[in-house]
Chains A and B, each alone.
Chain A
Amino acid sequence: MRNILSILALISLFYQQLPAQEHHAEVHHETAEAHGECSCHHEEEYSPSAVAFHHIADANAFHIFGDLYVPLPCILYAPEQGWSVFMSNAFEFGHHGDGKNAVEGYVLHEGVVMRVVDASFPREKVAVECFTSREAEVDGKKREIYQVMYEGNCYDLDRKTTLDGGMLGGGISSYYDFSITKNVFTMLLTVILLLIVFLGVAKAYRTREGQAPKGMQSLMEPIVVFIRDEVAVPFLGHKYEKYLPFLLTVFFFVLGLNLIGQIPFFPGSGNVTGNLAVTSVLAIFTFFVTNLSGNKHYWEHTLWMPGVPAWIKIILTPVEIMGLIIKPTTLMLRLFANITAGHIVIIIFVSLIFIFGDVGQSLTGSITGIFIAVPLTMFMMSIELLVAFIQAFVFCILSASYISAAIEEPHHH
């Protein structure tokens, strides 16, 4: 029920977004041509999908409210100019996360650091006027290129380098971003919290041997025992001890990140498990653990299935090899899509206030919106809480089932 709901919302969102973007870019393109130079367009109409995508994205600063941001360290490297290290409040946060300054050729747009490509742009700290965007064709695909206006001229902005090879719209650009971003900060915070909890519990088990669990031990022991008895032992049999640490680590890491992502303000709000890069690394761990522990039986059944005619083997082997990659891919997409969809639905429900209220024009509309949005958001957040546990559990149980397929002993008939 919940998944269908969120997937439907995701679809309607994509559906709305595509025509809206095209329209917006077109209008701007015309004005740019008409004036012969660039100009800053002013606030367009309120778009819930743009707000939602902005909120689930990674950023170089934590937004609290209004123009108040928590700065994070920026560690940037461009082959042309070397390393730049500074705190992101050097940009002076303005409206919508746009920085008022350019620092060493970098600017902050919508909370994200971008680099000015043009070499004639000053590389010291200067004030910039505003941000805009233009439509351009790169490698046969239409892309929106952000621009910054400085002393009446517009300069193209480069986005940070990503390793997706352009598949998700990124690629190698003129600089690399190694910053402690919102996601990295949240991940480090979760790791520290988990270390504090588990080192404390481990110490308690050493010092209180033979006694009943106490405090944090009583909270953690049922969860660990649940993963052992419901996931590890039924799937992995007598070899479960070897894989239990991996399963528990994945479970608590995903659960911790999911729960911290539910907190809508400062130490939380980082959408880490809703980031494809994070979930893909987790899935790659499962891929390696599965395939490195695969026995002869597993590889024989993958590469040259015994007991079927040779011409079927020719079809079966490529399918099995694809299966090796598809299994971790679904792990990656499932976690990403569930968490992202949940966050988007919450933001869309909150957006109802602005839609009904005509973006602050109508008080009655806003109040109606609040009465609709608050119960819906509360409902969605409680379901999200459930999903945080279910998705951590599903990631763990599916990893266990893939590993169990790889270490299964042959049974002769």
Chain B
Amino acid sequence: MTGTLAAIGAGLAVIGAGIGIGNIGTKAMDAIARQPEVVGDIRSNMILMAALIEGAALIAIILAFFA
């Protein structure tokens, strides 16, 4: 039972992270389409932001399995 609940909690965390990273992706693509000359800056900032969101999701997942 605990295993099932932990899996649901981890799944919810992943849904949140998925929405967040998806938003970053769309906005970054929009920005690149508008200003292709700054593609390098946009890409590294996109990776940085995705990494930050991923960090929150990973903490949630790890906590879900420890709790």
Residues of A within 8 A of B (CB): 3-4, 7-8, 10-12, 14-15, 17-19, 167, 230-231, 326, 329-331, 333-334, 337, 390, 393-394, 397-398, 401
Beyond A14-B3, A14-B7, 13 additional contacts (C-beta under 8 Å) are A4-B17, A7-B14, A11-B14, A18-B2, A167-B66, A231-B44, A329-B59, A330-B55, A333-B58, A333-B59, A334-B55, A398-B48, A398-B52
Chain A CB within 10 Å — which of B17, B40, B51, B59 has the most? B51
Q: Choose among A7, A15, A331, A397 the residue that contacts B61 (Cβ–Cβ < 8 A).
A: A7
A167 to B66, CA, bound (A): 9
Q: Verify A18–B18 contact, CB threshold 8 A.
A: no
Q: Verify A397–B47 contact, CB threshold 8 A.
A: yes
Q: A7-B14, A8-B14 are in contact. Are A18 and B47 (CB under 8 A)?
A: no
Can you identify 26 A-B contacts, CB atoms within 8 angstroms?
A: A3-B17, A3-B21, A3-B54, A4-B21, A7-B10, A7-B57, A7-B61, A8-B14, A10-B61, A11-B7, A11-B10, A14-B6, A14-B65, A167-B66, A230-B40, A230-B44, A231-B44, A330-B55, A334-B51, A334-B55, A334-B58, A337-B58, A393-B47, A397-B44, A397-B47, A401-B48
B26 at the interface (CB under 8 A from A): no
Q: Give chain B residues whose Cβ lies under 8 Å from the Cβ of A331.
A: 55
B31 at the interface (CB under 8 A from A): no
Q: Verify B47–A19 contact, CB threshold 8 A.
A: no
Q: Verify A4–B48 contact, CB threshold 8 A.
A: no
Q: A3-B54, A18-B3, A397-B47 are in contact. Are A333 and B18 (CB under 8 A)?
A: no
Q: Give chain B residues whose Cβ lies under 8 Å from the Cβ of A4.
A: 14, 17-18, 21
A331 to B52, CA, bound (A): 9
A397 to B59, CA, bound (A): 19
A4 to B8, CA, bound (A): 15
Report the minimal beta-carbon distance from A121 to chain B, rounded to whole angstroms. 34
Q: Give chain A residues whose Cβ lies under 8 Å from the Cβ of B40.
A: 230
Q: Choose among A7, A167, A394 the residue that contacts B47 (Cβ–Cβ < 8 A).
A: A394
B4 at the interface (CB under 8 A from A): yes
Q: Mark B1-36, 1 if CB is under 8 A from A, else 0.
A: 011101100110010011001000000000000000
A230 to B21, CA, bound (A): 22
Q: Give chain A residues whose Cβ lies under 8 Å from the Cβ of B7.
A: 11-12, 14-15
Report the minimal beta-carbon distance from A357 to chain B, rounded to whole angstroms. 28
A12 to B7, CA, bound (A): 8
- Complex: chain A residue closest to B2, CB-CB: A18
Listed from nearest, the 3 A-B pairs whose CB atoms lie closest are A18-B3, A330-B55, A15-B7
Chain B CB within 10 Å — which of A231, A326, A334 has the most? A334
Q: Give chain A residues whose Cβ lies under 8 Å from the Cβ of B18.
A: 4
- Complex: chain B residue closest to A333, CB-CB: B58
A397 to B47, CA, bound (A): 9
Report the minimal beta-carbon distance from A163 to chain B, rounded to whole angstroms. 17
A6 to B55, CA, bound (A): 15
Q: Verify B51–A394 contact, CB threshold 8 A.
A: yes
Report the minimal beta-carbon distance from B45 to chain A, rounded to whole angstroms. 10
Q: Give chain B residues whose Cβ lies under 8 Å from the Cβ of A19.
A: 3
Chain A CB within 10 Å — which of B54, B56, B65 has the most? B54
Report the minimal beta-carbon distance from B47 to chain A, rounded to whole angstroms. 6
